[in-house]
A and B are shown apart, each in its own frame.
Chain A
Amino acid sequence: NAGVTQTPKFRILKIGQSMTLQCTQDMNHNYMYWYRQDPGMGLKLIYYSVGAGITDKGEVPNGYNVSRSTTEDFPLRLELAAPSQTSVYFCASSYSVDMNTEAFFGQGTRLTVV
């Protein structure tokens, strides 16, 4: 059971370039999330999704876009990369409407914008 898989693990982008961070889960979870984590800090929610076709903004959505065409996949798109988007990005999923909801995280994508 793979859980949550993120690709790539590392990426260096030039200012103004774009890229898509891939996230897929094989647990049939309805909730999926994208977080960013700056050095020495906690998690900030970028976008989340409650199911296929439904997405919503988190705390820090500017400069990012998401889509959720299937239950399994939740890609995060960066358009016009900026140095402020240098961070570690984590994708997570959870199976909701249960009091013991647990979030499962991917290994993270370390992105540097230069």
Chain B
Amino acid sequence: TQLLEQSPQFLSIQEGENLTVYCNSSSVFSSLQWYRQEPGEGPVLLVTVVTGGEVKKLKRLTFQFGDARKDSSLHITAAQPGDTGLYLCAGAHDLNAGGTSYGKLTFGQGTILTVHP
């Protein structure tokens, strides 16, 4: 079973601070995605990283995929109250997962971020 461990589970910070959320696994994924969920809504895709060592930037958000494609991080610079929400990472199983798992997404348990004004 390919599992994704996300940390921290809860994060409460002041506006303007920086933060990093981690997503780790002992398994290799063909790609890794980050989603954001606002209250009362379903998760929405922020970014997909597919190459080991890849770094993608989305305004104040920086996403990194580990060289071995087993882990990822999300860094937010100068957090704002509008960043508050649940952040989820998800890995797409690669060919080595076997059986019917190829292409299936496995989600981490999520990080609840609260940014106080």
Question: Are A and B associated in one complex?
Answer: yes
User: Which residues of the other chain, B, contact A106 by a CB distance below 8 angstroms?
Assistant: 42
B76 within 8 A of A: no
Q: Give me 5 other A-B pairs in contact (C-beta within 8 A), A4-B42, A90-B43, A103-B33 excluded.
A: A56-B100, A96-B102, A97-B102, A99-B31, A100-B48
Which of B100, B103, B110 is A54 in contact with, Cβ under 8 Å? Answer: B100
- B residues apposed to A, CB below 8 Å: 6, 30-31, 33, 35, 40-45, 48, 50, 86, 88, 90, 92, 100, 102-110, 112
A contact residues, range: 20 to 34
Does B102 contact A42, Cβ atoms closer than 8 Å? no
CA A48 to CA B84, docked complex, whole Å: 29
CA A102 to CA B105, docked complex, whole Å: 9
A-B contact list, 23 entries, CB within 8 Å: A40-B112, A41-B110, A42-B6, A42-B86, A42-B88, A42-B107, A42-B108, A43-B107, A45-B107, A48-B104, A50-B104, A90-B42, A92-B42, A94-B105, A96-B103, A99-B30, A99-B48, A101-B31, A101-B103, A103-B90, A105-B42, A105-B43, A107-B41
- Secondary structure dominating the interface of B: strand
A35 within 8 A of B: yes
Nearest Cβ on chain A to B103's Cβ, whole angstroms: 3
Nearest Cβ on chain B to A95's Cβ, whole angstroms: 8
- A residues apposed to B, CB below 8 Å: 4, 31, 33, 35, 40-45, 48, 50, 54, 56, 90, 92, 94, 96-103, 105-108
Q: A33-B105, A101-B92, A102-B48 are in contact. Are A42 and B100 (CB under 8 A)?
A: no
